[in-house]
Amino acid sequence: MSMEPLLARARGLWEGLAGVPVSFAPMGGVSVVVSPQSGLSPAGWVGVVTLGGSAIVTAPTASTAVIVRDALAMVPVEALTDPDAVREVLPVARVLGPAALSYVSPAGFRRAGPGAPAVEQLPGGHRDLRRLERSAGRQDAGEAALDEITSPAFVVREHGRTVAAAGYRAWPSRTAHIGVLTAPDSRGRGLGRAAGAAAVEHALAAGRLPQWRARPIASRRVAQALGFEELGAQLSIETA
Which residues, given as ranges, of the chain have pLDDT below 50? 1
20 Rama class: left (phi>0) / alpha (psi -120 to 50) / beta? beta
For the chain, where do the domains classified as CATH 3.40.630.30 start and end?
A: 120-230
CATH H superfamily, domain 120-230: Gcn5-related N-acetyltransferase (GNAT) (3.40.630.30)
Local structure of 83: helix, strand or coil: helix
Mean pLDDT of the chain: 94
What is residue 218's predicted lDDT score, i.e. its pLDDT?
A: 87
What is residue 3's predicted lDDT score, i.e. its pLDDT?
A: 60
Kindly report, residue by residue over 45-63, the tens digit of the pLDDT. Answer: 999 999 999 999 999 999 9
What is residue 1's predicted lDDT score, i.e. its pLDDT?
A: 45
Q: How far is CA 186 from CA 50, 98, 121, 145, 158, in A?
A: 34, 26, 19, 19, 10
What is residue 26's predicted lDDT score, i.e. its pLDDT?
A: 82
What is residue 41's predicted lDDT score, i.e. its pLDDT?
A: 97
What is residue 115's predicted lDDT score, i.e. its pLDDT?
A: 83
Determine the Cα–Cα distance for residues 212 and 132; give it in Å rounded to an integer.
20
